[in-house]
Structure 1
Amino acid sequence: MIRALVADDQAVVRTGLVNLLDTQEDIQVVGEAEDGAQAVRVAAETRPDLALLDIRMPHKNGIEAAREILAASGGATKVLMLTTFGLDEYVYDALAAGAGGFLLKDATFPELLHAVRVVAGGDALLSPEITKRLIAEFVHARASRLPVRPAGDLTARETEVLTLIARGLSNAEIADRLTITDHTVKTHINRLFAKLELRDRAQAVIVAYEMGLVRVGQDDHVRDLRA
């Protein structure tokens, strides 16, 4: 059972999301919130598996709420953000804060339910539209204003694996590309995530661009970031 928290300042949208999720046998809505500050409080009380947060809310926006919810739960609560094209400037910061997925507000019900299950399961998911815009516009713009992030003590192989993650390859595809086993790929991923203090593959993409391992236009076909 996926225990979910729904936070959106628009009552009609929030009610619609709650009613939809409640139709599913494997999803239970354990809390609602009309702003970011309330979302943080309700999350602390209910300890949901997933927090579905509108990216822009009063009192505390979705990014701030996500950061606090993730910190308080030690990462046990996953975060799925809802956004619109007009708010894409927040996507980078939310990913950096640890959000596990993004979905446009005009997504279909099946897409929403799929996203809830994927993110609650610990994988990362970005809708194709958001991924493309994130890479083409915001990662490039943000990274160009920042010094290149050092690779730290990553080994050459770990750096190679990180690069392939950012290009959208799955674990199986990375194993095939590097002629190594799936188990070895997972070992490299676990080690590089620990060294770079990453929560998921979505953050790994951000870091790879910041490190200059991949460039905008070089590989902008990143798919759902599933393990």
Structure 2
Amino acid sequence: MKIIIADDHAIVRSGFSMILNFQQDMEVIATAADGLEAYSLVAKHQPDVLLLDLSMPPGESGLIATGKIKDDFPDTKILILTMHDDEEYLFHVLKNGASGYILKNAPETELITAIRTVYRGETYIHPKMATSLVREFVKSDQTINEESPFEVLSKRELEILPLIAKGYGNKEIAEKLFISVKTVEAHKAKIMEKLNLKSRPELVEYALKKKLLNF
């Protein structure tokens, strides 16, 4: 199977490549440092599996890249790499097309098993994180407002929401839009109120679902 690894740490990319290339049924054909590069390499190589880090500052994160890659390249299976402190994002990533996730500190044998599992079209879920997944599933149907964002949000709010979802801070957004930080904060609070969202992961999921990241 053809595999691409996307992680912002070069040592992780090289280490995982060495492990996977040692397997007779696996070949790492490319590596990427963030979500944008991962998208470009998937488009070029059409891999069977993409091993995608969830958090890749300052580049585009796996959270954002997952939805875009699955929309345009549905045949590529995405296996998310994560740490314990990323649990709140996992349900949102799975809903947007990932085939599973694995902890970065998992043993080599588990990584290999997870890749083979998603390659077969199945879902791999780390046992220690299943509780978090179930908890998010139970409350998920109450988190997303189904109204059109173009009906609910103002023009300025429609500008700010994608920037928040992409990971920009209040100061960065203020500089991009030539407004004050306080104005950004006020708009952010209004967006969350209008859409009945309680956290940043929910806002990111909303932006992905409504195709607003490139708006």
The TM-score normalised by the length of structure 1 is 0.60
Aligned-partner residue type, residue 42 of structure 1: L
Partner of 1:139: 137
User: 5 Å matches for 1:62-77?
Assistant: 62-73=62-73, 75-77=74-76
Partner of 1:54: 53
Deviations, residues 147-197 of structure 1 (Å, cap 9, x unaligned): 89xxxxxxxxxxxxxxxxxxxxxxxxxxxxxxxxxxxxxxxxxxxxxxxxx
User: 5 Å matches for 1:161-172?
Assistant: none
Structure 2 residue runs of 5 or longer lacking an equivalent are: 147-215
Q: CA deviation at 1:140?
A: 3.5
Partner of 1:24: 23
Structure 1 runs (4+) deviating above 4 angstroms are: none
Partner of 1:155: none
In structure 1, distance between residues paired with 2:69 and 2:103: 21
- Mapped pair 1:115 → 2:114: yes
Structure 1 residue runs of 5 or longer lacking an equivalent are: 149-227
The number of residues matched between the two structures is: 145
Deviations, residues 30-83 of structure 1 (Å, cap 9, x unaligned): 11001111000011111100000001113211022121221221x110000011
- Contact in 2 for aligned 1:102/1:130 (Cα 8 Å): no
Deviations, residues 188-220 of structure 1 (Å, cap 9, x unaligned): xxxxxxxxxxxxxxxxxxxxxxxxxxxxxxxxx
Deviations, residues 10-48 of structure 1 (Å, cap 9, x unaligned): 111111111110101100111100111100001111110
- Matched position secondary structure for 2:3: strand
Partner of 1:40: 39
The two structures, once aligned, show a CA RMSD in angstroms of 1.7
